[in-house]
Amino acid sequence: MGWRCETDTSQHHRENIWDYKGRAIYHITLATEGRAPIFGSLTGGSEEDAYIAYTSLGEYADATFRGLPDYYEDKGIHIRVLAVRVMPDHMHGIIHVLEPMPKSIGEIVRSFKSACTSWFKRHCYTPTVSTQREATHGAVANAQREATTSAVVSTQREPSLMQFCRIFATRGSIWEYMSAGYHERILHCDGQLDRMIRYVKDNPRRLWLKHHNAGLFRLRDNLCWTFVDDKGVRHDWRFRAMGNMFLLDFPNKQHIQCSRTIAQDELQRRYQQWMNNALQGVVSISSAISEGEKKVTRLLREAGMPLVVMLRDGFPPVGSPHERYYKPGGVYFDACASGRLLLVEPYEEVLDDPLVVEAVYRRSPIATRQSKRYQFLALNRIGEAMVNFGNNAEEVHKHW
């Protein structure tokens, strides 16, 4: 967490030179249309006891995904399912392709999606009254009435499926539409698989924490932090943020910044000082850009110290489909749930504030506005200002 390359997180990008028929391990993510909770509901009295109580469709999706290896074995395709987790409105699955295949992994995923949609249509979907009146008489009409009666009985027991029929009538699919068909992550590096399996299995616990700490996982837009600098100039800086907003109210804050060329003994000395301050109740602000900053930020986070982390292009674009469902990834999720983290992303205009521009060009006169160098330095200057001028902020909560 910290610096992130500019990307459109609402789009999915295939790896152009990748052989999707070859041996590989894929983490597949599929979401329901409108993120409707048609697979089940979150149950459990604590994060440790959290689990998903499946609907009949959720049971079918889970069993069908787990059954992919047996189904394709008869077709000469050798795959393994390493993990599955069906959530109320989406699902994760990890597939290991053992041998080169005659078809791509995308075709296997699409066949699974089609099977789930067909199951819903067959067992849950109720035709509209007008459709029933238009049906022909005789055996076809009788068969349709029987199917309708069966569907009504099924969906009355499961309200989420009954409610989804309205959406299904206009879409004809249970799955979220996206041009790529599904989200995928190819596992390339050592250690990725264990982390990914833990992540997939940990989803119910994470969802429980998010539901019971909703305020900490709300992505807030157009927030204003107002302060007066050492020259008496008033600044109104706008941000997007997620996490514990009260961390900026702490009277004592420190800025974690160090050069990428810093010597290890000097880095250790600074870290010890920063840690001692944090143990005394000081909140740390970091952009986590250089390797030294990343290391110190990680150590502070592992020690349970409160953190404010500056981001650049870290949140989904405003108004994008993914904005509503964004949550911090990896270890930052638990830090956010416990109230020990605030993620802050400045609007573009903040990077053009004279207080920021002057500091950037003083350190790097030839940095261009769109260069990473400029934006690295700008983030650090913003974090530094939050430390230096935090006590001059005017009624912060009225703006946050």
Average pLDDT value for residue range 228-238: 91
Mean pLDDT of the chain: 85
pLDDT digit string (tens) for 142-163?
A: 544 444 444 444 555 688 998 9
Q: What integer pLDDT is reported at residue 346 of this predicted model?
A: 95
- Closest to 93 measured CA to CA, from 216, 183, 191, 227: 183
Q: Is the pLDDT of residue 140 over 60?
A: no
Q: Is the pLDDT of residue 141 over 50?
A: no
- What b/e readout covers 64-97, taking b as 16+ CB neighbours within 10 angstroms? bbeebbeebeeeebebeebbbbbbbbbbbbbbbb
Calculate what percentage of the chain has a pLDDT beyond 70: 86
Backbone angles phi, psi at 54, to 5 degrees: -75, 145
Taking each helix axis from N to C terminus, what angle separates 159-171 and 139-157, rounded to the nearest 10 degrees? Answer: 130
Q: Is the pLDDT of residue 18 over 90?
A: no
More confident residue, 9 or 252: 252
The C-alpha atoms of residue 230 and residue 339 are separated, in whole angstroms, by 31
- Report residue 129's pLDDT band, with 50, 70 and 90 as the boundaries: very low
> How many CA atoms lie within 13 Å of 303's alpha carbon, on the beta-carbon side?
20
Topology adopted by domain 24-203:
Alpha-Beta Plaits (3.30.70)
- Pairing, β 220-228 against β 234-243: antiparallel
The domain segmentation of the chain, as residue ranges, is: 24-203, 214-399
Q: What integer pLDDT is reported at residue 126 of this predicted model?
A: 60
Q: What integer pLDDT is reported at residue 255 of this predicted model?
A: 95
More confident residue, 137 or 356: 356
Q: What integer pLDDT is reported at residue 151 of this predicted model?
A: 45
One-letter identity of residue 293: E
pLDDT digit string (tens) for 366-395?
A: 989 989 999 999 999 999 999 988 765 554
Q: What integer pLDDT is reported at residue 251 of this predicted model?
A: 80
Place of tokens 């904005």: 323
